[in-house]
Amino acid sequence: DQQVKQNSPSLSVQEGRISILNCDYTNSMFDYFLWYKKYPAEGPTFLISISSIKDKNEDGRFTVFLNKSAKHLSLHIVPSQPGDSAVYFCAAQRMNYGGSQGNLIFGKGTKLSVKP
Amino acid sequence: DTAVSQTPKYLVTQMGNDKSIKCEQNLGHDTMYWYKQDSKKFLKIMFSYNNKELIINETVPNRFSPKSPDKAHLNLHINSLELGDSAVYFCASSEVLPETQYFGPGTRLLVL
């Protein structure tokens, strides 16, 4: 039972254009959503997150949008650069009752290729 | 000046062997984790440790045991390795809050 789904295994975009990576989830109790970026032979690197009480968070070229009613979030990268080529993982998390972190539940990832 | 480091980076071994993977973080974080990324590319939590206490333990075989000698280290011991244990294992660490986890580079385990 996949609680976090990334239905597009790959995405190819021209340099300078917008990249939109999508993620759907099933559990309405998630408190945080995160995006991680992963280069080959490296561990995932935190990119950006959003709390479930917000609908948008922006950090430079990266913006995450959250649509709670649709249980959908997306990561926008504008403008896309060749160095953005990597696998992007969507993750979701619940906080435990004591305030400690719950599990990070990851999607399968989307491989983004930005062509020069 | 690596934040989360793992050794070894690659590990090839025979079925039935016992092996360990080491993880160290120099971020001063309170919580450390082990994840497994299988052939289907899913990243799944295996364990987490907070102040030497195991606080999450997913349905992982008891052949896997985490060992934390101190707050900066969380090692993963695997007994009687099986073919299905072949995967990439990632260590991570975080503060209690906020939610960001920092990952190590991964250990690629191949069981023959």
A41: chain B residues, CB-CB within 8 Å: 105-106
Distance from CA of B11 to the nearest CA of A (A): 14
Cβ B99–A108 below 8 Å, yes or no? no
On whether the CB atoms of residues B24 and B107 are closer than 8 A, the answer is no
Q: What is the dihedral of CA B105, B21, B56, A54, to 10 degrees?
A: 0
Are residues B96 and A101, on separate chains, in Cβ contact within 8 Å? yes
* Residue of chain A minimizing CA distance to B30: A100
Distance CA B9, CA A10 (A): 27
pLDDT band at B97 (very low <50, low <70, confident <90, very high): low
- Whether the predicted pLDDT of A97 surpasses 70: no
Which residue in chain B is spatially nearest to A90 when comparing CA positions? B43
Any CB–CB contact under 8 A between B66 and chain A?
no
| pLDDT the model gives residue B96 | 62
Using an 8 Å Cβ cutoff, are A33 and A64 in contact?
Answer: yes
Query: Residue B67 — φ and ψ, nearest 5°?
Result: -135, 125
For B14-64, the pLDDT digits (tens) are 999 999 999 999 999 888 999 999 887 788 889 888 876 787 676 788 899
CA A10-A13-A19 angle, 5° bins:
85
pLDDT tens digits, A33-83:
999 999 998 999 999 999 999 999 999 999 999 999 999 999 999 999 999
CA distance readout (Å), B110 to B19, B27, B79, B89, B107: 11, 29, 14, 11, 10
Sequential DSSP letters for A83-101: GG-EEEEEEEEEE-TTS-E
